[in-house]
Structure 1
Amino acid sequence: MSTLDLLSEDEQFVVRTVREFVDKDVKPVVRELEHADTYPEALIGRMKELGVFGLAVPQEYGGTPVSMPCYVLVTEELARGWMSLAGAMGGHTVVAKLLLRFGTEEQRRRHLPRMATGETRATMALTEPGGGSDLRAMGTVARKSDDGYLVNGAKTWITNSRRSQVIALLCKTDPDADPAHKGMSILLVEHGPGLTVSRDLPKLGYKGVESCELAFDNHRATADALLGGVEGQGFTQMMKGLETGRLQVAARALGVGRAALEDALAHARQRESFGKPIWQHQSIGNYLADMATSLTAARQLTLYAARLADAGHRVDMEAGMAKLFASETAMQIALNAVRIHGGHGYSTEFDVERYFRDAPLMIVGEGTNEIQRNIIASRLVQRGGLDV
């Protein structure tokens, strides 16, 4: 039984189409783009044509919506080809979900049709230079003015921020609120005076797409940029959005882990030592067995969380589990793929060194794994244990 058998025929077609795109268009060029750290303009254009940026947008707004399990498997396929491509649509999808769940109808009609085609790209801005996962300590403030808000502060590690037209900015509209999260709101800001994308941050991996620092200096946001039209809801809104974000990061980890396993398996079948393929040596065979087992478990955990999300359940714990386990699994698989390749695994002429550089991002991104463990433990106590 294939994993795709869980999906409808239409959704199976979507996943197979993306898989074909990865094999035909991505894999032949990814190494050159990666090493040059070149923005993949042509590949992003092809993703727009395929409708990838509209997978979370309903048909009434011009999208081609799919289930969360389908979205997970599409993301896995993209990351199998190049994790950066999955990152190019990650925050975009979270913003689409935020608009659908919390936005006003005017906001949905303004943004979603262009987001569905990829004409408008979206990202979210949470992390600040002085703090990452502690969102309540943020210093970016939006103060009311006659015609909207004046925004001041800084954000960092904001992926796609230079090329995204809409930024879902988590900020404080009431800096004196107690508790602090009650004073947070999301503004759908757009590029303009007072918003500076200061630099692209140098990165170990995750090449091609930009991750930038943003500086807000009396940037004007209109009153209708407030997501949902009500202040003080931003923290709750973003926490819901991060459930999708963490499933997306888990799916990226699946793609990186799968690519590393596929390359390791192919190498172990072709490479010979002491008169036989190296997979027949028990130490290498054990690596492969463990890699395949943990990857399968990570995929099932991620799909389980995705199905719960589709059913309307709160999945902060389950999405956290998926992100935690899948990212740690991808890191271990990538390391073992380097081991199996031997000296070739350390060479930039082979792709496994890229997987090894990309995998750590999923461990620290979208809330570090240490934070995920805190969330899981907290929810376990609140629920009184696992729901069985």
Structure 2
Amino acid sequence: MLAPPVPVVADPFHTPEREELQATARRFVEDRVLPVADELDKVKGEIPRSLLDEMGGLGYFGITIPREDGGLGLGAFEYCMIAEELARGWMSVGSIIARAQGAGTGVDDPGRRAELLRRSAAGTWIGAIALSEPDAGSDLAAVATRAVREGDEFVITGRKRWIGNAKAADFLQVLVRTADPEPGERRSAGLATLVVEKERDSFPEGLTGSPIDKIGYHGFVTWDLEFDGVRVPAANLLGEQGFSDAQKWLNVARVHTAARAVGLARGAVEDCIVYLQQREQFEHPIADFQAVRFRLATMAARVEQARSFYQHVAHRLDQGEPCEREAAMVKLLATEMAAEVTGEGIQLHGGNGYTTEHRVERYWRDARLTTIFEGTSEIQQKIVADRLLPRSPLG
């Protein structure tokens, strides 16, 4: 007697619209992103402006911007889904879309805000986010860059570090300290966000920068910035809850990072499937050897697990849930998975994996960074643990 058939359960997140959106992104990556990445990553080149313009035409800079403002009017789910596809080609392409999505548009003037939203959606208002400093990375409450009010302007003085796309950007969104905390207040009190508008490929008066030479994450330049009396209109103050605003933004950013990590790991798995069937040893494709097959199977299973988790958290974000704990969990799980799976991909390529002749080394270099930015794995563990285990008064 046969066992009853296993019921087929439809993917609860699948819709025809999402399927079409994903298919378009996959074709774009295969036809346009991968050839550019293969050429430019080796020489630490930047994403060509022409490619950014194509992404703007596809709506990728306005995925979460309302349709009435020129965007696609979609949610965190679609934003992360497209980011996974783009990162499978080149992580920086999956990252650059986060520099738009309406960032830097929270000004009070409705007309100006509408203009910037349209520009953001079209990919002509792409920014850079300046949060970290030499002594304030994981500990953003320690931000020391100062903004002093002088009439209708703020004057910014200080130093920011790890600012990707800073020179090429149309604006910088800068976390600054406008006041010192009062006795008994949290250290994060007095932080605010200012938008520094600028010309592309240049810095405004009072701002200088030095490129940071990285081992990966090429496609845009990462900068160490020095603010020395940079003047910004007071109207460019986005809010005086800079720390809490940054924390809310980081929830989505961490799920976005999980999606990018899945894209990188998926790239390693897909490339290994091809390579293992082509590479022959002992008169057989190495895909015939059980040890290799089992290793690949485990890699693929871990990618699917992480994808399901980030989709679940993205869906909950779209339902209006804060998901701070879950965002930290999925960022931790997916990025550690990606670092390990891409490393396994190098191993399955053997000596060829340790060359720049195959993409798997690029996926590994970029995946290693995902465990660090948007909060290190250790910071994610702290966030999760603090919500599971409240500290005792003596802790």
Would the TM-score normalized by the shorter structure come out above 0.5? Answer: yes
- The answer as to 2:210 corresponding to 1:199 is yes
What is the CA distance between 1:2 and its match in structure 2? Answer: 11
| Partner Cα separation in structure 1 for residue 10 and residue 97 of structure 2 | 22
Partner of 1:65: helix, strand, or coil? coil
Conserved? CA contact 2:180–2:189, under 8 Å: no
Q: Indicate how the Cα distance of structure 1 residues 105 and 285 shifts in structure 2: closer, same or farther if over 3 A, else same.
A: farther
Match of 1:28 among 26, 35, 45: 35
Conserved? CA contact 1:56–1:65, under 8 Å: yes
Gaps of 5+ in 2: 1-7, 391-395
Partner residue, 2:316 = 308
| Partner Cα separation in structure 2 for residue 4 and residue 40 of structure 1 | 34
Residues 177-326 of structure 1 correspond to what in structure 2 (within 5 A)? Answer: 177=182, 178-191=185-198, 193-228=204-239, 231=240, 233-326=241-334
- The answer as to 2:146 corresponding to 1:141 is yes
- The answer as to 2:354 corresponding to 1:346 is yes
What is the CA distance between 1:275 and its match in structure 2? Answer: 3.1
Q: How large is the Cα RMSD of the aligned pairs?
A: 2.1
Residues 49-88 of structure 1 correspond to what in structure 2 (within 5 A)? Answer: 49-88=57-96
| Partner Cα separation in structure 2 for residue 70 and residue 241 of structure 1 | 17
Deviations 1:167-216 (A, max 9, x none): 22111111244322121111122236444241221111011211111211
| Partner Cα separation in structure 2 for residue 351 and residue 281 of structure 1 | 23
| Partner Cα separation in structure 1 for residue 362 and residue 85 of structure 2 | 16
- The answer as to 2:137 corresponding to 1:132 is yes
Match of 1:151 among 152, 156, 159: 156
Amino acid at match of 1:148: E
Deviations 1:43-96 (A, max 9, x none): 222111211111121112111122222211100000001111112112333xx2
Residues 365-384 of structure 1 correspond to what in structure 2 (within 5 A)? Answer: 365-381=373-389
Partner of 2:262: helix, strand, or coil? helix
The more displaced of 345-354 and 191-200 is 191-200
| Partner Cα separation in structure 1 for residue 289 and residue 156 of structure 2 | 61
What is the CA distance between 1:381 and its match in structure 2? Answer: 3.2
| Partner Cα separation in structure 2 for residue 4 and residue 77 of structure 1 | 18
Conserved? CA contact 2:100–2:123, under 8 Å: no
Conserved? CA contact 2:153–2:232, under 8 Å: yes
| Partner Cα separation in structure 2 for residue 117 and residue 156 of structure 1 | 28
What is the CA distance between 1:98 and its match in structure 2? Answer: 7.3
What is the CA distance between 1:103 and its match in structure 2? Answer: 5.5
Q: Indicate how the Cα distance of structure 1 residues 244 and 197 shifts in structure 2: closer, same or farther if over 3 A, else same.
A: farther
Match of 1:19 among 26, 48, 65: 26
- The answer as to 2:345 corresponding to 1:337 is yes
What is the CA distance between 1:282 and its match in structure 2? Answer: 2.4
The structure number with the bigger radius of gyration is 2
Partner of 2:135: helix, strand, or coil? coil
Gaps of 5+ in 1: 383-388
| Partner Cα separation in structure 1 for residue 345 and residue 302 of structure 2 | 14
Partner of 2:209: helix, strand, or coil? strand
Partner of 1:54: helix, strand, or coil? coil
Conserved? CA contact 1:194–1:216, under 8 Å: no
Partner residue, 1:173 = 178
| Partner Cα separation in structure 1 for residue 16 and residue 169 of structure 2 | 33
Partner of 1:333: helix, strand, or coil? helix
Partner residue, 1:385 = none
What is the CA distance between 1:373 and its match in structure 2? Answer: 0.5
Conserved? CA contact 2:108–2:235, under 8 Å: no
What is the CA distance between 1:248 and its match in structure 2? Answer: 1.1
| Partner Cα separation in structure 1 for residue 301 and residue 293 of structure 2 | 12
Conserved? CA contact 2:107–2:236, under 8 Å: no
Q: Indicate how the Cα distance of structure 1 residues 5 and 13 shifts in structure 2: closer, same or farther if over 3 A, else same.
A: farther
TM-score by length of 2: 0.90
What is the CA distance between 1:359 and its match in structure 2? Answer: 0.9
What is the CA distance between 1:148 and its match in structure 2? Answer: 2.3
Conserved? CA contact 2:277–2:286, under 8 Å: yes
Q: Which runs of 4+ in 1 moved over 6 A?
A: 1-5
| Partner Cα separation in structure 1 for residue 164 and residue 9 of structure 2 | 33
TM-score by length of 1: 0.91
What is the CA distance between 1:358 and its match in structure 2? Answer: 0.9
The more displaced of 347-356 and 102-111 is 102-111
How many residues align? The count is: 376
| Partner Cα separation in structure 2 for residue 212 and residue 197 of structure 1 | 10
| Partner Cα separation in structure 2 for residue 299 and residue 103 of structure 1 | 35
